[in-house]
Amino acid sequence: MAYLSSAILSAAGLPLSIYLVSPGELPQFCEVGSRFSCVTVIHSEYSRFMGIPVAAVGALWFGGALALSLAAVAGLRVGNILLYWSVLGVLGALALLFVEIFMIGSICLLCTFAHAAGAGIFAAAYLAHIWTQPPITSG
């Protein structure tokens, strides 16, 4: 069940990240004053890393998470890889949130949804890891 949840969250995060690479008209809720502005974040100097849109890196990450999640659902032993992959995603999301808050001064709500999906993938992978460990017995 945890791997299926991870797959669903990955499948939700992938198109969102793809959309954020080159968004058309943004939804109304994305612009709530200067503190919450997807436009400000998406068009900031920090939206690209070495010429590559950060959202494209996110899309690649979600694609990898989706592939690993589906492999785990199919019974392949990739749970630990998914867990490590999700740790990378959470660390990246925390770094991006830091940049949004302290360097750009605005938060992108669509980006926050993607970050939350990544956190959910980590939670699912961690729970699956715990649930697949043998019980601890005293001897």
pLDDT tens by residue, 84-95: 999 999 999 999
Asked if the model's pLDDT at residue 139 lies above 70, the reply is no
The end-to-end CA distance of the chain, in Å, is 32
Please state which architecture CATH assigns to domain 2-131.
Up-down Bundle (1.20)
Instruction: Report how far residue 4's alpha carbon sits from residue 40's, in angstroms, rounded to the nearest whole number.
Output: 34
pLDDT tens column, 8-60: 999 999 999 999 998 888 888 888 888 999 999 999 999 999 999 999 999 99
What value does the mean pLDDT take over residues 72-84?
A: 96
Domain assignments of the chain as residue spans, ordered by start: 2-131
Asked if the model's pLDDT at residue 106 lies above 90, the reply is yes
Asked if the model's pLDDT at residue 109 lies above 70, the reply is yes
Instruction: Tell which residue, 87, 123, 109, has the closest CA to residue 9.
Output: 123
Instruction: Report how far residue 60's alpha carbon sits from residue 66's, in angstroms, rounded to the nearest whole number.
Output: 10
Share of the chain above pLDDT 90, in %: 83
What value does the mean pLDDT take over residues 114-124?
A: 98
Asked if the model's pLDDT at residue 72 lies above 90, the reply is yes
Share of the chain above pLDDT 70, in %: 99
